A and B are shown apart, each in its own frame.
Chain A
Amino acid sequence: MSTFKFSLLSFAVGLIVFAVGHALDIGYLFFAGYTILQFVVLATAWNILGGYCGYVNFGSAAFFGLGAYTSVFFYKLDAVPLPIPALILAGGIVTGIVGFGMGYLTLRLRGAFFAIATLAMAVVLQTLIVNWDFVGGSRGAYILRPESLEIGRLSLPYIEYLFLLMLLLSVVALGISRAIERSQLGFGFATIRDDELAAEASGVPTLKLKLIATTLSGALMGMAGAPFPYYIGFLQPSSAFGLEYGVNSIAMPMIGGTTSWIGPLVGSLLLGTLQQVATVTISSAVNLLIVGLLLVTFVVIAPNGLVGLVQQHLRARRKP
């Protein structure tokens, strides 16, 4: 299946979900669905660098928060109210540049140092935002969200509009990661993951490939964050840069399986839904505990995630 067909198909699936939700007219479904889709984008973006190249990024929250604060910046600028797709693009560009810069500074480091550096970057960016009064500083910023979106005579509740955008974004992210996996780029990434030194020695341009991965992954995370202020209505540095984004975007691919695009999708759909249920029925602290415990259990017991378990099962059945 070509990437184009795949994207069309997955968008169609998404649209059916949307249509069912719209017909049922349950606003909460869209609130929950938005969060889950947001995690689909984050997990897929993380996997481009983490799963394909083997570089662990703990700073997903930094990219997510930066994307969100780019939107706040344009909102506060108050010149022309930009439409959200433009904001998503702007967020993507800013975080793409930051991702490139971070990659350039740190990718010559060994894996572990890279991971720590990304964590450090998240804190530095958060401190900068806390001290930047224009976007609200530590007090946070209010974003007034319109009730609904009017296109001609058609009126769409705003949350449904945001949901649609996030749906589109997750299709784009999945399409990109699936295309990478089947291209020369993906093979290049895999050589980096398996043996960087050998790859370098056989002429793979490792630094260039890694820069492509950090830029892409960073840009996608920023795009996931850009509509967030409009979703939540009130943005604080501690919520935009929350550790749960970092943990979730690692846990979801790890639980799903990091070697293919399906893994992050499965992981984020399952874990995202589980979290929504746990938040509603138990408490939000418990749902974070569940994520942490699942992450630890899965990396210890099932190193290749759910997808790996299924593959193992199929292989065992094929060989009697």
Chain B
Amino acid sequence: MDFPFELFLNAIISGLLLGGFYAAVTAGVSISFGMLDIVNIAHPGFIILGSYIAYLLSASLGLDPILVSVLMLPVFYALGCVVYQVYYLAFEKRGQEALRGLAFFFGLLFVTEVGLILVFGVDYRYVEAAYIGPALHFGFVDLPLRMLIPCAVALALFGLLQLFITRTFTGRAIMAVSQDQLALQLMAADPIRIKRIAFGISIAIAGVAGALLVVIQPVEPSVGREYIGRIFAICVLGGLGSLPGTLLAAMLLGVMESLTSTFYGPSWAPAVAFGFLLLTLAVRPAGLFGR
């Protein structure tokens, strides 16, 4: 059998589209884990919460799921601020973030998941929109709009975030707090406030990523677990806290997963991310694009 070139090319392209989406999923953790050193394992929980809110509002009010997510940005931002405030008071202030902070987020993830199961059940939920279904065809290459639109939104979001971080005062302050908290304090800026803003942004992005997720695939509460590995694999691979690195790593992982599920079967796909993560952690913890 000669090499199935068309299949290969299609797998790479859908991998790139998937990678764009993964970038949006990871961006939040890149901020919270990479820059603020807060190991927010509950991030996938917030993503799934975003999916369900998008599902709920688009099913009941007929709104577009992605539009819903943009409207929900302030809500998720506020949620993030509250979570950070609790985390700060209970753990960071007492210097106990290592053991108990981790357990706190783990519990949070679990509570979100079980809470969603209790409210919505374990059935898969999906949304309806005009762009779910049709695909663009270029020769033998298929571009399903269901993937293309989330990827485009994700990339736009990513671009905005990069601009915000590098160009605005608050963004630069976030970078500063990740590098030297004491120095920031000496310059009369409040590191806790900056961190709260940054964490709020990271959760707000999780909300948008959740809406993109429910456009891409039907969602049930425990889907989030699969994303823990992906998110942290991408984040570590991209060099903690580097947004361009995160984007590249996300694309890389997307392509690898897509190739694996095309040629070996989808049941192997989850192991790719986690295996890659283990390998990265064991061999080069600074990531491919580490500082």
Contact = CB atoms under 8 A, between A and B. Distances in A.
B143 interface: no
B106 interface: yes
Q: Name the residue in A50, A123, A138, A251 with the highest tally of chain B Cβ atoms < 10 Å from its Cβ.
A: A123
Contacts of B91: 299
Nearest to B109: A292
Interface string A106-137: 10010111011101110110011011000000
Q: Name the residue in A120, A124, A293 with the highest tally of chain B Cβ atoms < 10 Å from its Cβ.
A: A120
B280 to A, nearest CB: 10
A295 B109 CA distance: 11
A289 B115 contact: yes
B270 A123 contact: yes
Interface string B248-291: 00000000000000000001101100110110011001000000
A295 B110 contact: yes
Contacts of B225: 123, 243
Interface string B238-251: 00000000000000
B23 to A, nearest CB: 19
Contacts, number: 126
Given A112-B98, A289-B115, A303-B96, A119 B228 contact: yes
B136 interface: no
Nearest to A116: B232
A222 interface: no
A117 B277 contact: yes
A115 B33 CA distance: 13
Nearest to A293: B111
Given A56-B102, A115-B39, A115-B102, A121 B274 contact: yes
Nearest to A117: B281
A193 B104 CA distance: 18
Given A109-B281, A112-B98, A120-B232, A58 B106 contact: yes
Interface string A94-108: 000000000001100
Contacts of A138: 267
A298 B33 CA distance: 23
Contacts of B212: none
B130 interface: no
Interface of B: 33, 39, 41, 86, 90-91, 94, 96, 98-100, 102-104, 106-108, 110-111, 114-115, 117-118, 222, 225-226, 228-229, 232-233, 236, 267-268, 270-271, 274-275, 277-278, 281-282, 285
Interface of A: 50, 54, 56, 58, 105-106, 109, 111-113, 115-117, 119-121, 123-124, 127-128, 130-131, 138, 243, 246-247, 250-251, 254, 258, 285-286, 288-289, 291-293, 295-296, 299-300, 303
22 contacts: A58-B41, A106-B281, A112-B33, A112-B39, A116-B236, A117-B278, A119-B41, A120-B233, A120-B278, A123-B270, A124-B275, A130-B267, A131-B267, A243-B222, A246-B106, A288-B110, A292-B114, A295-B104, A295-B110, A299-B100, A299-B104, A300-B90
